[in-house]
Amino acid sequence: LESIYFSISINFLHIYIKPIIAYCSRLFQFQYFGSIIMKGIVLILGRCILILVSLNLVNHTIAFYLPGLAPVNYCKKSDMSGSCKSEITLYVNRLNTEESVIPYEYHHFDFCTGNELNSPVENLGQVVFGERIRPGPYHIEFLKDVKCDVVCTKNYTGEDPESDRRIMILKKGISLNYQHHWIVDNMPVTWCYPLDNDKQYCSTGFPMGCFVRSDSDEACLVNSNYNRRGFYYIFNHVDLHITYHSGHSEGSVGFHGNDGRIISVKVTPRSINHLNPSKVDCDNTDPLAVKSNSPIRGEHLSVTYTYRVSFKMDNSVKWSSRWDYILESMPHTNIQWFSILNSLIIVLFLSGMVAMIMLRTLHKDIARYNQMDSGEDAQEEFGWKLVHGDVFRPPRRGMLLSIFLGSGVQVTFMALITLAFACLGFLSPANRGALMTCSMVLFVSLGTPAGYVSSRIYKSFGGVKWKSNVILTSTVCPGIVFGLFFVMNLVLWHESSSGAVPFSTLIALLGLWFGVSVPLTFVGAYLGFRKRALEHPVRTNQIPRQIPDQSIYTQPIPGIIMGGVLPFGCIFIQLFFILSSIWSNQMYYMFGFLFLVFLILIITCSETTVLLCYFHLCAEDYHWWWRSFLTSGFTAVYLFIYCCHYFFTKLSIKDGASMFLYFGYTCIMVFLFFLLTGTIGFMACFFFIRKIYSVVKVD
């Protein structure tokens, strides 16, 4: 069946796509300036369409699990050996919610806690993201079912200040729908529940309780019997269903008898009113309902936490595929994949057409200009050749532009390399915190390209303050990001949130900045200033040429606003998934498509900026330096608008601190995206202008 699908896709390309490419080849005749580039674009376009159509048609794929996380073998306590262990450690992570940006540690809500001295060491990315992984209080042994065990009992007394504080924190967490995030064998403990379309969604978090509002007729999602208005239902009981693979069908080495590997852990939270903590009944259906104003003075409230564990063998799922049931259950995934594929095809084809039109028009211009120069009759120059004496005139605030370009190169290479590693599977969701750690390490390690590009551009402007250029390149943009991050961290500190980065980690980040990034920036700037200044293909006149009145389409502001539309159009679908993974606690795993969209973004930013720059030069407006940077950089403004739209339509955040944190982190993301897209557009326009003025004859 797979070979039939692949044959159909090949025939589709030969029947429909190949004639279009052949027609374009005959129409534009690859015998002029840029023919090699044009052939390359058409060839890449055809290959990309072939891959995308094949992906659309072929559903069955063969994959492999990259090394990095070794499987763990479990066995009964009586069969323990060096190759297996019996104790299954359940780790608890910080709690978060869609109704607030502020996460909290597990012990913040007065739950039963384990021995936190044995907590695993988080990496840099986990600390920055606010993950705080601690050993849970639940004792689990492999293949040992637990019918009903007590974890602990929490007591609250009315009018006692400490009890009131603890119960109010618990109620606040329940009312804001804070979610538990547990981990077993490096797998998230999932809570699976049915959707309206008769499908099942498996969430990586489950609620700590449920609050039925006084003005609501809706019951709790966990159980429709939890429906008393104005009552809090504390989920003080969990049923843990552990599924394991025995390993016999895989032919794995090291399996003996009843050994196995865990492939899923699912939880069912419940609320049980244990009247007697010394004699608990986990089959009791009477929920623990707490009034909004309880406990009152003299009243005593007891919350007993219990759990149940059951094991089930399932050899149909391999250990390497144990994440599939989580990813396949995510809502809207299939629809979005189809939309992404078709959007990429449209953007690729549109980009190819824009490139062909540009090269076709340029070919005519260059041929006409060179023909006039070789003719006997002198004719007046017109079009973009007319401003050849001013096109390389240094811009105003050249220092700031060179700083932005240096940091933009740093961010661009960081994103490109990070996405490449993510596509290879080294930054998968199983490797927690690896994505952020890789990004930060790459950013500080890429100081040399930043210093080199900034110094070369600044020297081409005729700048002589090289010391200021080096210092500002290494401090301005990273300082803006760190300053915003520090302000956000102060808010998290004030809220006693687990997302607050410890002071020692801030010192480590400053050490990476000033101990690694700044010296590497100095090295790059030293190499850049040692080289000769860039020689432009044409000389710059002493007296600047007067720019004629421009139409509304060639004025700076309308051109900049229009320039960001097309690049944003090719990324907005992926933005929904990215923002959902950041703010809605959903898992993002489509790094392959994200890498492809990133490449399309580079092509689209480059071609859009070059196209608008060419129009401005034809209108005798030679102020292209800042305009080329801002044209593609304006995509960040559309990104900010989309983030605002997402905030008001998809999230339910109401408190002021969370709103401040949301827009603060959004500003960091938008600023980095502004540097990235602006640098891409500038570099494309810079090399384009140098190329076209180097092939025309200028006296």
Return the percentage of the chain with pLDDT > 90, whole number: 35
Average pLDDT in the 623-630 region?
88
* Helix (H), strand (E), coil (C) string for 616-665: HHHCCCCCCHHHHHHHHHCHHHHHHHHHHHHHHHHCCCCCHHHHHHHHHH
Contact (Cβ atoms closer than 8 angstroms) between residue 109 and residue 172: no
Name the more confident of 562 and 12: 562
Check pLDDT > 60 for residue 26: no
Distances (CA, A) of 35 to 152, 655, 687: 75, 58, 16
Distance, CA of 308 to CA of 264 (rounded, Å): 16
Q: What are the residues whose beta carbons fall under 8 Å from the beta carbon of 331, sequence distance 6 or more?
A: 195, 199, 201
The amino acid occupying position 415 is: A
Average pLDDT in the 310-330 region?
85
Check pLDDT > 60 for residue 464: yes
Average pLDDT in the 270-293 region?
87
Distances (CA, A) of 669 to 484, 485, 559, 582: 11, 11, 24, 12
Give the confidence band of 226 by pLDDT, cuts at 50, 70, 90.
Answer: confident
Name the more confident of 549 and 248: 549
What integer pLDDT is reported at residue 258 of this predicted model? Answer: 67
CA nearest neighbour of 525 among 414, 416, 402: 402
What integer pLDDT is reported at residue 371 of this predicted model? Answer: 63
Give the confidence band of 3 by pLDDT, cuts at 50, 70, 90.
Answer: very low
Average pLDDT in the 16-27 region?
40
Average pLDDT in the 146-167 region?
89
Phi, psi of 519 (to 5 degrees): -60, -40
Distance, CA of 573 to CA of 332 (rounded, Å): 12
Give the confidence band of 571 by pLDDT, cuts at 50, 70, 90.
Answer: confident
Name the more confident of 590 and 686: 686
Average pLDDT in the 472-489 region?
94
Question: Which tokens sit at 266?
Answer: 């699912």
Name the more confident of 645 and 30: 645
CA nearest neighbour of 579 among 647, 674, 632: 647
Largest CA distance in the chain: 109
Place of tokens 């690694």: 516
Distance, CA of 452 to CA of 458 (rounded, Å): 10
* Helix (H), strand (E), coil (C) string for 513-579: HHHHHHHHHHHHHHHHHHCCCCCCCCCCCCCCCCCCCCCCCCCHHHHHHHHCHHHHHCCHHHHHHHH
Strand partners, 92: 134, 182
Average pLDDT in the 70-97 region?
87
pLDDT digits (tens, 9 = 90+) for 376-427: 444 445 566 677 677 788 888 889 999 999 999 999 999 999 999 988 888 8
Check pLDDT > 90 for residue 372: no
Give the confidence band of 238 by pLDDT, cuts at 50, 70, 90.
Answer: very high
Question: What's the chain's average pLDDT?
Answer: 80
pLDDT digits (tens, 9 = 90+) for 171-213: 999 999 999 999 999 899 999 988 777 778 888 899 999 998 8
Check pLDDT > 70 for residue 11: no
What integer pLDDT is reported at residue 680 of this predicted model? Answer: 94
Question: Which tokens sit at 32?
Answer: 């002029």
Please tell me the chain's helix, strand, coil percentages from 3-state DSSP, rounded to the nearest 5.
50, 15, 35
CA nearest neighbour of 45 among 337, 456, 474, 354: 354
CA nearest neighbour of 239 among 208, 209, 262, 270: 270
pLDDT digits (tens, 9 = 90+) for 345-359: 767 776 776 777 666
Give the confidence band of 51 by pLDDT, cuts at 50, 70, 90.
Answer: very low
Strand partners, 268: 239
Question: Which tokens sit at 187?
Answer: 């797998």
What integer pLDDT is reported at residue 377 of this predicted model? Answer: 46
Contact (Cβ atoms closer than 8 angstroms) between residue 310 and residue 264: no
Give the confidence band of 250 by pLDDT, cuts at 50, 70, 90.
Answer: low
Global pTM reads: 0.82
Name the more confident of 391 and 49: 391
Phi, psi of 212 (to 5 degrees): -95, 110
Q: How far, in whole angstroms, is CA 463 from its chain's centroid?
A: 37
Check pLDDT > 70 for residue 368: no
Q: Is 11 exposed, middle or buried (0-12, 13-18, 19+ CB in 10 A)?
A: exposed
What integer pLDDT is reported at residue 365 of this predicted model? Answer: 65
The amino acid occupying position 524 is: G
Question: Which tokens sit at 66?
Answer: 């990259």
Name the more confident of 388 and 309: 309
Give the confidence band of 15 by pLDDT, cuts at 50, 70, 90.
Answer: very low
Phi, psi of 61 (to 5 degrees): -130, 155
Give the confidence band of 6 by pLDDT, cuts at 50, 70, 90.
Answer: very low
Check pLDDT > 90 for residue 279: no
What integer pLDDT is reported at residue 663 of this predicted model? Answer: 95
Neighbours of 94 (CB within 10 A): 23
Lowest mean pLDDT, pick from 33-42, 106-115, 293-302, 555-564: 33-42
